[in-house]
Amino acid sequence: MSELPAFLLEDDAGRSSSFPGERPALICFVKEDCPTCNEVMPVIEAFYRAFADGVDILVPGQTVEGNRTLTKKHALTVPILDDSSLKVSFAYDVEIVPSLYLADPTGQSQRTLVGFVREEWQALAEQLSQTTGLAMPDVDWSSCPEWRPGCGSLSADPLVAARLQAESENSPLRARRIDIAAHDDEFEFMFDQGFSDGLPLVPPTPERVLRMLSGTRRDAQEVIATMPPNMGEATVEKVAINAVMAGCKPEYLPLILTAVEAVCTDEYNIHGVMATTMGASPVMVVNGPIRERLGLNMKLGALGQGNRANSTIGRALRLAIRNIGGARPGGTERSTLGNPMKFTMCFAEWEERNPWTPLHVERGFEQDDSVISIFAMTSGPTLMVDQDSRTGAQLAGTFGLCLESAFHPKAHYATEVLVVISPEHVDTFVRDGFDKASIRARIQEVTSRPIRELVENEVSAVGFKKAFADGMDSQALDKLLPKFKSEDDIHIVVAGSEAGKFSGAFHGWATGEIGSIPVSRKIEEV
């Protein structure tokens, strides 16, 4: 035996009925549009007439109008109780109506019937007659069907069940609930509250947040990171709320949680990334089997619009940084111009089109690991157009000339880049035997300039300061300085359409401990 949930419900006349009481109780959940419920209503009425002096007959109905229809259609005297909120049906975990429960005076369950089986209901009538000493109900059992399946309970509808779970006492949701007036526009309200990045948001209703949380086994109240600048506690629930607003699917949540953990590390330095006037922003690259499972785009238009996973995953991270961490334009976010990547930038590497080592393996992970790598970039993707080069040396040379403009042509050792090589350019490199190391070396070679050419002058004050250069001898001024301090500052991935000799580059922010260090994390999936 188990204890059935207590409840207090009213009928259409406002009369209250409660469970448990001081007597045995017979509880039957019904809804008007269920044919089987209509079959059993005369039987329930007969039970009420026969046993009302010894048993509480309680009939929760699932819609207000449906309850009235049942009462009128079957000329009922048994009250139909209003469970249109479905909270009692949900508490009883009713999946099928009619569902009937017999309980003793303490509320302990003694018998459960689902649907209609004539022999079971007849046996129940005999049991009640024996225990109460009251006469059998006036039922023509021979006119009743031998068996009828029930119908789905309204409380079992997935959308309704999510709402009821969110409203139940054991709901995992703890975030502050904001109620808006009945005639308020929920979309305009979210704009007014400052939750938005400037685009419309999906309202994070409790049922939507619960569905999002179904994407992970992690506890909703687990604090996964402390997020600058406001040092907000990024719980799984709060990240899920922002994922809902961004338009994500539940299966995206493990990736988003991992991304939040990654950017909140000291190495990545999300506070600096968002606060710099240079306008840096996270760029997310996804590797491993999760790419296909989530439907991430790595091919045609991979760096642009049109793919839900790419767009909403990147946006969810950005919204979490805004709403949990407090990084908002005009506050701690002081970007002079900003950039479109501050809305979103997430894409997958096309590993199958990459003849070399994919990014996550280069960064120490196994081929079959699902990994998110996050870079701090200030601009991009900048197009690198070369439809003419036929050798790897020429094409890598083009890359070098294009990348020399990162920050400023005379700003050497200043930043890093993320190079996205298109498949047609990959083919050129492969035909000429170029691997990633060869490409990086060639970029460094063609961008190497003598220090004397990098000194500030009347054309531009950017570069080596003249006062410093004046103290150098001729040999020192002739020293060649490549664009990047290390070949490790040139990150290479493969993505894009099979057609088109156009590759791309993201220009980085300050590198190393004074700025941001790229972070890669393995994604733990459910």
User: What single DSSP character describes residue 3?
Assistant: B
- Give the β-pairing of 96-97 and 151-152: antiparallel
pTM: 0.74
Instruction: Identify the pLDDT of residue 164.
Output: 75
Residue 201 near residue 245, CB atoms below 8 Å: yes
Residue 176 has a CB neighbour count (10 Å cut-off) of: 4
d(CA 355, CA 333): 40
Please list the pLDDT of the chain residue by residue as tens digits (526 residues). 689 999 989 999 999 898 998 899 999 999 999 999 999 999 999 999 999 999 999 999 999 999 999 999 999 999 999 999 999 999 999 999 999 999 999 999 999 999 999 999 999 999 999 999 999 999 999 999 999 999 999 998 877 777 677 666 666 777 777 888 888 899 999 999 999 999 999 999 888 998 899 999 999 999 999 999 999 999 999 999 999 999 999 999 999 999 999 999 999 999 999 999 999 999 999 999 999 999 999 999 999 999 999 999 999 999 999 999 999 999 999 999 999 999 999 999 999 999 999 999 999 999 999 999 999 999 989 999 999 999 999 999 999 999 999 999 999 999 999 999 999 999 999 999 999 999 999 999 999 999 999 999 999 999 989 888 888 999 999 999 999 999 999 999 999 999 999 999 999 999 988 999 999 999 987 5
- 7-156 — its CATH code? 3.40.30.10
Instruction: Identify the pLDDT of residue 379.
Output: 94
Long-range contacts of 357-364 (CB under 8 A, 24+ apart): 357/436, 358/287, 358/493, 358/494, 359/285, 359/287, 359/491, 359/492, 359/493, 359/520, 360/287, 360/288, 360/520, 361/287, 362/436, 363/520, 364/520
Please state the domain extents for the chain: 7-156, 186-448+483-522
**Both tokens assigned to 265:** 């590390």
- Residue ranges of the alpha helices (H) in 8-114? 35-51, 64-73, 87-91
Instruction: Identify the pLDDT of residue 157.
Output: 85
